Amino acid sequence: MKSIHMACDHAGIELKETLRAHLEKMGYTVTDHGTYSKESCDYPVFAHALCNAVEAEDVPGILICGTGIGMSIAANRHKGIRAALCGCEFQARATRQHNNANVLCLGERVIGQGVALDIAELFLNTAFEGGRHLRRINQIEG
């Protein structure tokens, strides 16, 4: 069974709903950490909830806000998280192959839903290449 965590703020909720339905159709069990309405809310709350779950369970996560930027900044404060803000399929593939990213960040106000679904599929279906990329990841903490 494939599992994934998702979370968003009010600016990412439409894309989260569409993407969650798409992933469930693909056979994923989705844990939705909110938000659940379009009422204004604070994106770091949802980023931290999702990242705690991803760190605990070692399954991928997807965070969505208006730009994807706030979510990615908050997520990357977590030691066990490598969050990648992606706007195209090239970035989605490369960040899995080279960065072993475990959280995908998307900006609902930036990209269309079709592109977002393709990015998510590629992110989830691409393996880390290891080797020299693992050495580099191990240097990130400094």
Active-site amino acid positions: 65, 98
**By C-beta, is 13 or 28 nearer to ligand RB5?**
13
Collapsing DSSP to helix, strand or coil, 57 comes out as helix
Residue nearest to ligand RB5 (CB): 70
**By C-beta, is 28 or 105 nearer to ligand RB5?**
105
* CA–CA dist 142, 140 (Å, integer): 5
Closest Cα partner for 62 from 6, 131, 2? 6
- Min dist. Cβ of residue 125 to ligand RB5 (A): 27
For residue 17, the surrounding DSSP H or E stretch is helix 13-25
Where along the sequence are the contacts to ligand RB5 (CB under 6 A)?
A: 9, 11, 43, 65-67, 69-70
- Min dist. Cβ of residue 129 to ligand RB5 (A): 30
**By C-beta, is 46 or 123 nearer to ligand RB5?**
46
* CA–CA dist 50, 32 (Å, integer): 9
